Structure 1
C-alpha cells in the first residue's frame, strides 16, 4: 500500500461513503474531500466534513499508518494544526494536536472493496513491463487518449519554457538572442547540443547582428568560438576564416575558454559540427530579422521556406577542413527542420504569446498537428500497443507520458491509469 493510492481513493471517493465512522466511533459525513495539494503541507485543503454533530472546514492528511504522522514530524509543524481528519489505511496509534486534543482518525481500509485493491495490484504493481499498463493500453477509449495527450503536450511545452525563461533572464529579455541560443543548441542535436549552446552564450548577440551581412564573417565567428580554427591548416578558406576571426576577436574582445569542445565521433557526416555551423550561419545570413519572421509564421510551408538553407560553397565539397569530398548540396532536411520546430520554435512561440498576453493556445496546437510524428524508440513502442502517434503533438505528449509518468510510476496521476482503475 502507498500514499498515492490512498490519495486517489480519497480524492475520487473510491470507497463506501455512507456509514463512515472515525476510530473513536463518531459518524462522518463528507461534503467535500478538499483540494489536492501537491506541495508541502496537508494533502487536501479546505475539506468540509460533519463529524458527529459538528461541521468542520479545514484540511485532511492522508497516511498509510497513523504513526506516520510522527515519522514525518507533523506534530512539530504548525501548518498541520488545522487538520480536521486523519485518513489512514492502518490505525496503529492516536494522534494529538499541540493542545493535546485528539485528531479524529478514519481507517480507510474498512471502506474499500477487495475488488478495488485487486484491480490496483493487478494494474500497477507489475515489475517486468515496459509500462505497467501495456497489456491494457489498447483498450482505452480514443477520446480519453486524445484529450490526455493534448494536456501532456502543453505540460512538455511548459517544461521546455523553463529553459527559455532562464535564458531570457540572463539576456535581459532579448528574444532574438534567446532564439539564436536555442537554435544553436538544437543545431547541435544530442551530441553537440551543450557545446553549441555554450557557443551561443559565449558571444553577445549584438556581435552576431554585426556580422550577418557577410556569411564568411559569421562563419568565422562561429567556427572561431567553437575552437575549430585553432589548428594550422593549409587551406585558403581556413586561412581566411582565421584572419577574420582574429580581427573579430580583437575588435569585440571575444573569449571562448568556456565553450565546450565539439565532437565528430560517431556522427554521420551531415551532422558534423562544421556542416551544422555553416548551415546556422546561412540561416542568419539569409534572414537577418529571423525572430520577426518566425513569430509571424504559422504554417508548416512557411517554416520550411524560412529554414530552406544550405551550407556555404566550401562545405558543398567538404565535411572537414582540407579533406575534399564528392560535391553535394548540404541543405537542411525536412526532418531536421521538424526537430527545430518541435524543440525551438514551438516552445518560443508558446512563451512569447503568453508574454504578449495571448493565452489562446489553439494556434500552437494547429502547428503541432501539422508536423509529422517523431520516430524514436518511445514512439515506436507506444504505437506497437495502439496506433496513437500521428503528429508532433502526439509524439511530444507520449515522450512526456513515458518520462514523467510511466518511468516514475505515477499511474494514479495519469488519465490512462485512472480510466483503467475506474472500470
Structure 2
C-alpha cells in the first residue's frame, strides 16, 4: 500500500482542500517534489504550506507513522530536512535525529483509486487496462509509445555495450555477436551468442577469401563437425557424401593453426524447430554474409537508407545446404534465402539497436536518428503481443509501435507495474469506458 500512497502523493490524486496536520494546522501541497527511488527521503524539494507558511524540503511517506522508527530515520541525519511526514495511518509522533518533532498528515488513498488499482492487479483480462484504451488521446498514446520505444532501445544498447566489454572493447566483434544471437530467432539465441563470442574474427580474416575455410571454421566452432552430432540415421550418408569429412578435416587443420576450441554442441536445440531454422542453415547463411563482406560494422554504418540496410542483410546458403537441412539429410534444392519476416526481424533486432548503440558510443546523433527512422519505416511485427493490443483498440502502425508494446508487456504488464505506466495512470484516474 505504501507504493500506492507514493503514487497518490506524486500525482496529487487526493482532495486538495481540507488537508490538515495531525495537530490541526491547514496544509496546502504546492509541489509534491521529485520522487526519489534511491536511498533517502521519498520526495525531494517539495513545497508545502503549513498554516500559511511555505516550507521547502523533503517529504517522507509510510503506511504507518511508526515505520519511521522501524526504518531508523530517527537516527539518520539525511532525514533531518523532512518538512512533512505523510502516513496512511498515524499511530505515533515522529522525531528527527536532532530531536525535532515533525508535522504529520494522514493521507487516505481515494476509494476510487484503490478500487481501480485492485482491478488492475486482479482482473483476468489481458491487458487489465483494456477498458481505458479506446478513450486515450492520440497524444497520450504517441508520447507513451515513443518513451517505451526509446526505453527498449536503451536496454538493447546496454546489452550490446556489455558484449563489447566481454569482447575486450571490440565493437566489431560485439556487432557480430549481436547478429549471431538474432540468427537464433529466439529458441537458439543463447547458443548463437555463445558461438559468436567463440568465433575469432581476426583469425577468420586470414581465410575470408576462401568460403570453404570460413564454413569449416564456423561449423567447427559450433561443434557440429563431430560425427556424434549427426543423427544416427543420417551418419552413413553424411560420411558417404564426403562434404562432412572435408569440412571436419579442414577444421582440424585450422583448429590446430589457431588453437581453436568449439562450443558445446549440446547447446543447440532442434526439438520442434522448423528445418529452415536449424543451426546448420543459419550458420551457412552467416558464412555467406561474412564471405561477402556484409558483417562488418563499417558496412552497417554506411547504410543510410532502409533499402541499403535490407540489401546488406540479405543472404542465402552455401551450395551444399541448398539440398540439405543437416549433414546427410538430402532433399530438394532450394536457395534457402531469408524470408521477408526473418529479414524484418533482423533489421528490427540487429540493425536498429546496433546503429543506436554505436551512435551513442561514438556520440554520433545521425546514427541514433537513423535507427528511429528505420523503425518508423519498418512494418509492425505481427505476434501475440501486437495482436493483443490491436484487439483492445490500440493502433500498431510500424515497428516502433510494436517494439514499444513489447516493452510495455514485458516490463510493465507482466510485472503488474501499473503505477509506472501512463495507461495505468489514466485507468487509476477513472478514465474508463
Give the TM-score of the pair, scaled to structure 1: 0.92
CA separation in 2, counterparts of 1:25 and 1:387?
A: 48
Task: Tell me the CA shift for residue 328 of structure 1.
Answer: 0.9
Match of 2:37 in 1: 38
Which segment is superposed worse, 152-161 or 370-379? 370-379
Question: Can you list the C-alpha shifts for 1:172-209, whole angstroms capped at 9, x where unaligned?
Answer: 33111111111111111222111111111123321232
Structure 2 partner of 1:397: 404
Is residue 89 of structure 1 aligned with residue 88 of structure 2? yes
1:204–1:74: structure 2 CA closer, same or farther, 3 Å change rule? Answer: farther
Q: In 1, distance between residues paired with 2:208 and 2:323?
A: 23
Partner of residue 230, structure 2: none
Structure 2 alignment gaps of length 5 or more: 228-234
Alpha-carbon shift at residue 69 of structure 1 (Å): 2.5
Residues 268-289 of structure 1, C-alpha deviations (whole Å, 9 max, x = no match)? 1100100000001101111256
Q: Equivalent residue for 2:232?
A: none
**Partner of 1:365 in structure 2?**
372
Shift of 1:76: 4.5
CA distance in 2, matches of 1:117, 1:307: 50
Structure 1 equivalent of residue 328 of structure 2: 322
Tell me the number of residue pairs that the alignment of Structure 1 and Structure 2 aligns: 419
1:266 and 1:52 mapped to 2: Cα distance? 70
The whole-number CA distance in structure 2 between the counterparts of 1:411 and 1:21 is 30
Specify which of 337, 346, 349 is matched with residue 355 of structure 2. Answer: 349
Q: 2:250 aligns with which of 244, 265, 270?
A: 244
State the distance in 2 between where 1:289 and 1:196 align. 15
- Select 2:146's aligned residue among 131, 150, 159: 150
1 CA distance for matches of 2:365 and 2:77? 38
How far residue 115 of structure 1 moved from its aligned partner, in angstroms, is 4.5
Give, in angstroms, the shift of residue 91 of structure 1: 1.2
- For 1:15-414, list aligned pairs within 5 A: 15-52=14-51, 55-109=54-108, 114-121=111-118, 123-231=119-227, 233-234=238-239, 235-257=241-263, 261-287=267-293, 290-359=296-365, 361-414=368-421
Displacement of 1:96: 1.8
- Distance in 2 between the 1:116 and 1:323 partners? 62
> What displacement does 1:125 show?
4.3
Query: RMSD value over aligned CA atoms?
Result: 2.1
356-365 vs 400-409, which moves further: 356-365
Deviation at 1:81, TM superposition (A): 3.0
Deviates more, 1:154-163 or 1:23-32: 23-32
> Which SS does the other structure have where 2:188 is aligned?
helix
- SS across alignment from 2:127: coil
What is the CA–CA distance in structure 2 between the aligned matches of 1:38 and 1:58, rounded to whole Å? 17
User: Partners of 2:360 and 2:101 in 1: how far apart?
Assistant: 48
CA distance in 2, matches of 1:75, 1:127: 40
Q: Once the two structures are superposed, what CA deviation does each residue of 1:58-87 show, in whole Å capped at 9, x if it has no partner?
A: 211112221232343434544333222111
**In structure 1, what is the Cα distance between the partners aligned to 2:77 and 2:327?**
67
Residue aligned with 1:177, SS: helix
Distance 2:140 2:319 in 1: 51
Instruction: Go from structure 1 to structure 2 and tell me whether the alpha carbon gap of 1:224 and 1:286 turns closer, same or farther (over 3 Å shift).
Output: same
- Report the TM-score, using the length of structure 2 for normalisation: 0.90
* 1:303, distance to aligned residue in structure 2 (A): 1.8
